[in-house]
Amino acid sequence: DIQMTQSPSALTASVGDRVTITCRASQNIYASLNWYQQRPGKAPELLIYAASSLQSGVPSRFSGSGSGTDFTLTISSLQPEDSATYFCQKSNSIFRFGQGTKVEIK
């Protein structure tokens, strides 16, 4: 089974900061990686698919990169509404998720 490991598990940053979240797959998953945002009490929403494609309607401050086993979600300038938990998900075969990264605003 391919495991997905996110880091950090939580972070606190200020408005305007650049924030980076990493996701590592235990085996090569090529570009089969999605990123989701989940606000409290809400369903996850797709931010990035196929490692680097921005979902329609998602602000351009969000970006994804990586391939193979190492992936990154970057928020270029953190906004108050970005306070949420972010999950990576491998998108081939079993759609396994990472354990999540909780982003809080300082």
Partner 1 sequence: QVQLQESGPGLVKPSGTLSLTCAVAGVSISDTYWWSWVRQTPEKGLEWIGEIFHNGNTNYNPSLRSRVTMSVDKSKNQVSLNLTSVTAADTAIYFCARDCGRGPDDFWGQGILVTVSS
Binding site for partner 1 (CB under 8 A): 34, 42-46, 49-50, 53, 55-56, 87, 89-91, 94-100
Q: How far is the CB of 42 from partner 1 (least distance, A)?
A: 7
Q: How far is the CB of 18 from partner 1 (least distance, A)?
A: 26
By beta-carbon proximity to partner 1, the closer residue of 10 and 15 is 10
Cα–Cα distance for residue pair 81/53, rounded to 1 Å? 21
Q: Is 35 exposed, middle or buried (0-12, 13-18, 19+ CB in 10 A)?
A: buried
